[in-house]
Amino acid sequence: MEFTHVATVKPAYSAVELGRGADGIVVEVLDHPELVIKDMNHPFRLGRNRIALEQRVLHAVADATKGLGATRVFNSGADEHERSWLVRERVFDLETRGSQESRAALIDIILRIHPTADVNRVMLLDPTFDNVRWGYTAANPKPR
């Protein structure tokens, strides 16, 4: 499916909420289940740019996994309440999971950059409750 992204214009939401965490809420883009909108919970103030932080984490994970381990961000902006949002690829989960060692290494990278990230080792044994997922995207169907 093709989708045209207009810079700083948030696409329409679908009714499918995919998750909630400390940073925000993730919802499918209307008529495009391959894309998600992540609405940040906190307003942009006091230098807390959640979008820049999210992109920094995604770039670090992509670097550590040689480009395979992070979703791409296509668009971002802020609403009238100064809450930021971003549009990125959706990760479709697989039951066949990657190794716990590789997930642990990614969690180490994420926590170095963002110590309060929505990942932790207690949830490591059940990755359905964690933001470090083993899956694929519409653009790259190879599990990673």
Computed over every residue of the chain, the mean pLDDT equals 79
| Residue 46: band (very low, low, confident or very high) from pLDDT cuts 50, 70, 90 | very low
How many whole angstroms separate alpha carbon 11 and alpha carbon 26? 13
pTM of the model as a whole: 0.76
Residue 32 confidence (pLDDT): 94
Average pLDDT of the segment spanning 39-59: 74
Residue 1 confidence (pLDDT): 60
Q: Domain spanning 13-97: which CATH class is it, in words?
A: alpha beta
Average pLDDT of the segment spanning 55-75: 84
CA 40 from centroid of its chain's CA atoms = 11
Residue 27 confidence (pLDDT): 93
How many whole angstroms separate alpha carbon 37 and alpha carbon 18? 10
Instruction: Tell me which DSSP letter residue 87 carries.
Output: E
The full set of domain ranges for the chain reads 13-97
Instruction: Name the least confident of 14-18, 54-58, 96-100, 136-140.
Output: 96-100
Residue 109 confidence (pLDDT): 86
Question: For residue 57, what are the CA distances in angstroms to 5, 9, 50, 108?
Answer: 22, 23, 11, 11
Q: Is the pLDDT of residue 48 over 80?
A: no
